[in-house]
Amino acid sequence: MTQFEFYKSFQFVTELLIAQAMYVFRFKRRRFFIPKLLLAVGLCYLFAWALPALSENPFYVSFIFLLIFIFTLLLNKFIFDESWLTVAFCCVAGYTTQHLAFELYNMLMVALDYPSASGFYGTGDFAGIFPDLFTAIIYVTSYAPAYFVFYMLFSTQLRTREPIKLKSTFIFVLAVSVLVVDIVLNAVVVKSDVIGAKSLKIVIGVYNILCCFFSMFLQFEVSVRKKLEDTLDRVEHMWHQASEQYRISKENIELINLKCHDLKHQIHNLRSGEISDKELMEIEEQISIYDLSVKTGNDALDVILTEKSLLCKKNGIIINIMAQGEKMDFMTKEDIYSLFGNILDNAMTAVRDVEPDKRVIMLNIEAVGEMLVIRETNCFASPINFENGLPVSKGDKRFHGYGMKSIKYVCDRYGADLVVKAENNVFTLNILFLQNGARNSEAEKHEK
């Protein structure tokens, strides 16, 4: 077996599969995953081995490598239950990682006056791939750091298991095209006798490495930007829903208070009738739940706190509120409703799982100098996972952590600092607003 036959049949396949595994291991697995995985790996080696090394032409060599890559893409789709776009995206990322590591190894070998990657593409016995221990050391010290750096820079961006979304398919195709051209150019350099200058080969090697970085950043930048845009759209949609809900809740609570006021007067008048005092007290107790109106000095804050107080009483949750609502006039009513609605919804969800005597929510809103400090604390039972400094929910994946993202969205609109902690089963949320000059340009722009 020649050096090239061994490389394309075993070594290249191993490098490529390890690189792709860095990006696909979080994928949703199909049934009988382990047997399918073993079958897929075996078929991949068999397919690469069966491809004939008919020519040393650089274009034919590149074609063989691309065929192997396409076969690995099909096998990844066979064992993982993900969309074609997601599988292709991660497989291309894996191939780019492998190729960058190869280019780094090749450039180092040229710089050290070793036979370089021609050992991989050679026609001699496959033992010539690593003729001595030094070559093997250079190989390991080239591939391992390259794989590690790309894992930290790019693979970690896929940790949420959310599907890949691209704003523009053209950009992804462009990134793939850059990679393909880079692979063909490398084959030309390795197989060609025309490019003999050591310095020129090093320059081309650096160029190829930069192309790999460019391709990866282009590929992931498009995906991350699309993901952020979708998140912003979802948060803004929730904000508009909160705005409409505020209007409805305000009307309902005003109507309830009016009806309760009328009923109290009617009960007072009934005391002179035949109905007993005991029956009147029972009616008053039933009505008293609607007499939980919160008065803070801010209409929007009163509406949302009253609404959530009623829900807390219904669910056996104690909520203690100390609020200087008049200090929040710098915020729009919709933002106040959205902000405190999400804060208290999250708190109520958390305390439902704790012991009854710990179902307490503490909310404090106070002015300290020119600052407005909002502090909310509650107990929790289940472990809380954090991502980018914010807690995320294990509930419905369609709304994965969007309540907290909506809170962050409102804070960012007013230039507020948001700090969240979860220690000793106590969750603490702190928001720090600057009252003077409170409404930043984004909030003003939104109002207009």
Tokens of 261: 């006021």
Residue range 60-71: mean pLDDT, rounded: 88
Contacts of 290 (CB under 8 A, 6+ apart): 256, 257, 259, 260, 310
Residue 280 above 70 pLDDT?
Answer: no
What is the set of domains in the chain, with CATH numbers?
A: 3-233 (no CATH), 296-447 (3.30.565.10)
- The pLDDT of residue 158: 73
Residue range 292-301: mean pLDDT, rounded: 78
Residue range 80-98: mean pLDDT, rounded: 86
Q: pLDDT higher for 289 or 409? A: 409
Residue 447 above 50 pLDDT?
Answer: no
The pLDDT confidence band at residue 287, using thresholds 50, 70 and 90, is low
- The pLDDT of residue 437: 43
- The pLDDT of residue 403: 75
Q: pLDDT higher for 310 or 101? A: 101
Residue 71 above 90 pLDDT?
Answer: yes
The pLDDT confidence band at residue 268, using thresholds 50, 70 and 90, is low
Measure the CA angle with vertex 444, ends 438 and 448; round to 5°: 155
Residue 117 above 80 pLDDT?
Answer: no
Residue 75 above 80 pLDDT?
Answer: yes
- The pLDDT of residue 115: 58
Per DSSP, helices labelled H in 25-111 are 33-50, 58-79, 84-111
In terms of Cα–Cα distance, which of 155, 53, 144 is closest to 94? 155
Residue 441 above 60 pLDDT?
Answer: no
Residue 77 above 80 pLDDT?
Answer: yes
Residue 361 above 90 pLDDT?
Answer: yes
Using one digit for the tens of pLDDT, what is the confidence trace for 192-213?
554 456 666 677 777 777 777 7
Residue 404 above 60 pLDDT?
Answer: yes
Using one digit for the tens of pLDDT, what is the confidence trace for 163-192?
555 555 655 566 667 667 666 666 665 555
- The pLDDT of residue 293: 63
- The pLDDT of residue 374: 95
Mind spelling out the 3-state secondary structure of 278-323?
HHHHHHHHHHHHHHCCCCCCCHHHHHHHHHHHHHHHHCCCEEEEEE
Residue 353 above 80 pLDDT?
Answer: yes
- The pLDDT of residue 225: 61
Q: Rounded CA gap, 305 and 340, in Å?
A: 8
Residue 30 above 80 pLDDT?
Answer: yes
Tokens of 80: 């993982």
**Average pLDDT, rounded, for the chain:** 76
CA-atom Rg of the chain in angstroms: 32
Burial string for 143-172 (b: 16+ CB within 10 Å, else e) reads beebbeebeeebbeebeeeeebbbeeeebb
- The pLDDT of residue 400: 38
Q: What percent of the chain has pLDDT over 90?
A: 21
**Which DSSP symbol is given to 8?**
I
Residue 338 above 60 pLDDT?
Answer: yes
In terms of Cα–Cα distance, which of 306, 307, 299 is closest to 328? 299
- The pLDDT of residue 253: 60
Residue 241 above 70 pLDDT?
Answer: no
- The pLDDT of residue 34: 93
Maximum average pLDDT range among 114-128, 349-363, 401-415: 349-363
Q: pLDDT higher for 170 or 442? A: 170
